[in-house]
Amino acid sequence: MTVGDFGEFSLVTRIARRLPQGDGVLLGPGDDAALVSVPDGRVVVSTDLLLEGRHFRRDWSSGQDIGRKAAAQNLADIAAMGARPTALLVGLGIPPDTSVAWVDELFDGLREECALVGASVVGGDIARSEAVMLGVTALGDLRDRAPVTRAGARPSDVVAVTGRLGHAAAGLALLTAGARDSGPLVDAHRRPRPPYAMGPRAAELGATAMLDVSDGLLQDLGHVAESSGVRIELDSAAFAVPRELRQAAAELGADPLTWVLTGGDDHALAAAFPAGIGLSGQWQVIGTVTEGRGVLVDGREYGRGGWDHFAV
């Protein structure tokens, strides 16, 4: 059965029944609006748009994969502010010949990713479109902490990352080269694994700036450098390039460090911390903050890289 056969109201009702609500949701899907508790009195909000053919391909990823990815990139934005995600709102555009089973998979993926952080899908909207389009808005709770922005890094801070870097880019390269079998790198492209808990933890440790790595480490750290009015200097020797990245790079004739420095969609967290703070082994120190502008690798500009949403 397709969504065109099913009808909008019946489809929305079906989806709502598949979405259990967390403790912070006072009123979930089914009315004109949801009602979510705000213990802190402030709400952290982020939104992203995912377009079929631009951000995902249905022949490469299942509906469940796409749901997990759509939720992950929004939940990671909330964590990168030092907040805990609480809720998602989802706007879905779909062709009328899309199967209802595929939509079920999509919302199963959204629900499963939210469950990792105790968040809920609390509502949204569905409309007909020529290709699948997802607009996701995430909400979060700071729990009485100040938000960690991109603008607080200061000279003498250290720069550290947590989570995977370069895996999703390598997976995309493998898929583009014709790989279809599942493997750790292809899976990383299909389903990011953001280190959600480390965002609030970084805030507790005193992080001065933070963001999630969605468009590539160099490009995203460039936003921190610009917002903070500083230079970030990275040491290439500080990056531990995993064996699977090296193997894929050898197979494709690529440089694995380029994937690490410029590849997006892993949604790792990068943060600046005052020097001397004891960071756990989950954080890898990769550089320092100095006077100046821009981002350097081993004292030099590395070159253009990262995701550009308007590139052809």
Residue positions forming the annotated binding site: 32, 46-48, 55, 77, 124-125, 150, 212, 214-215, 265, 307
Residue type, 154: R
Question: Are the C-beta atoms of 272 and 202 separated by less than 8 Å?
Answer: no
Q: Which residue has 């694995």 as its token pair?
A: 256
How far, in Å, CA of 61 to CA of 70, rounded?
Answer: 12
How far, in Å, CA of 95 to CA of 130, rounded?
Answer: 5
How far, in Å, CA of 13 to CA of 29, rounded?
Answer: 9
CA nearest neighbour of 58 among 105, 5, 112: 105
Burial, 256: exposed, middle or buried (Cβ in 10 Å; 0-12, 13-18, 19+)?
buried
Q: What are the tokens at 23?
A: 């403790």
DSSP-assigned letter for residue 37: -
Which residues belong to the annotated binding site for substrate? 55, 265, 307
**42: how many CB neighbours lie within 10 A of its CB?**
15
Phi and psi torsions of 187, nearest 5°: -65, -35
Question: Are the C-beta atoms of 162 and 268 separated by less than 8 Å?
Answer: yes
Angle made by CA atoms 57, 58, 63, in degrees to the nearest 5: 125
Which residues belong to the annotated binding site for Mg(2+)? 32, 46-48, 77, 125, 212, 215
Which residues belong to the annotated binding site for ATP? 124-125, 150, 214
